[in-house]
Amino acid sequence: MSIAEVISAHEPKVRDLAAEWPRALYETLRSAGVSHMSYVPDAGHSTLIRLFSEDADVVTNVLTTEEEGVAIAAGSWLGGKRSVVLMQSSGVGNCINMLSLPVQARFPLLMLVTMRGEWAEFNPWQVPMGQATEAAPKAIGITVLRAETGADLVDAVGQAATMAYEADQQVAVLIGQRLLGKKKW
């Protein structure tokens, strides 16, 4: 180990969570024992998707539609793996009937949802489902949490992982569009 590395290893790690929340989320989820991830891509999840995909100890699935991830996560738990599902708010509506599986069987479920249609949104077609993203999963019995800052998000996901995997709860964490920033296109 070089002197620079020794010094660096002993320096307290100060991380700017406003910018580095994806890596912090990845580390939080891996520490919580998550080794399985399914996703429908979203720009807001791109770093997290890349980090999980590059991890040889994590199984990842790309989905054709979000409810697939809900069923896959249930199967993964049946076999002893902790799974997380990543999606955009528009995908939450796709999940609704499949959510009866984790709700009825009390399968752990952790969904991380990047929000559209609520802050500096240029596409009006994102607004209706964006408005319904919190109400729809609540209506079927999912616990819904929201985070607007990187620090809150990391806290929310850490405790949601406890609720899901230690207490067999179904939890969606919504990641505010204000935190994600305006979509560049």
Residues found near other proteins in the complex (CB under 8 A): 36, 59, 61-65, 67-68, 70-81, 83, 97-98, 100-101, 104-107, 166-168
Least Cα distance to 130 among 178, 84, 93, 86 occurs for 93
Q: How far is CA 11 from CA 16, 26, 165, in A?
A: 15, 21, 33
Strand order across the 34-39 sheet: 59-62, 34-39, 82-88, 109-114, 170-175, 143-147
- Residue 7 or 105 having the CB closest to other proteins: 105
Q: Please state the closest distance from residue 102 (CB atom) to other proteins, in A.
A: 9
Which of helix, strand or coil describes residue 8? helix
- Residue 78 or 135 having the CB closest to other proteins: 78
Q: Please state the closest distance from residue 111 (CB atom) to other proteins, in A.
A: 15
- Residue 63 or 110 having the CB closest to other proteins: 63
Q: Please state the closest distance from residue 32 (CB atom) to other proteins, in A.
A: 15
Q: Please state the closest distance from residue 76 (CB atom) to other proteins, in A.
A: 4
CA dihedral 177, 178, 180, 184 (to 10 degrees): 90
- Residue 101 or 151 having the CB closest to other proteins: 101
Written as six digits, the tokens of 92 are 């939450």
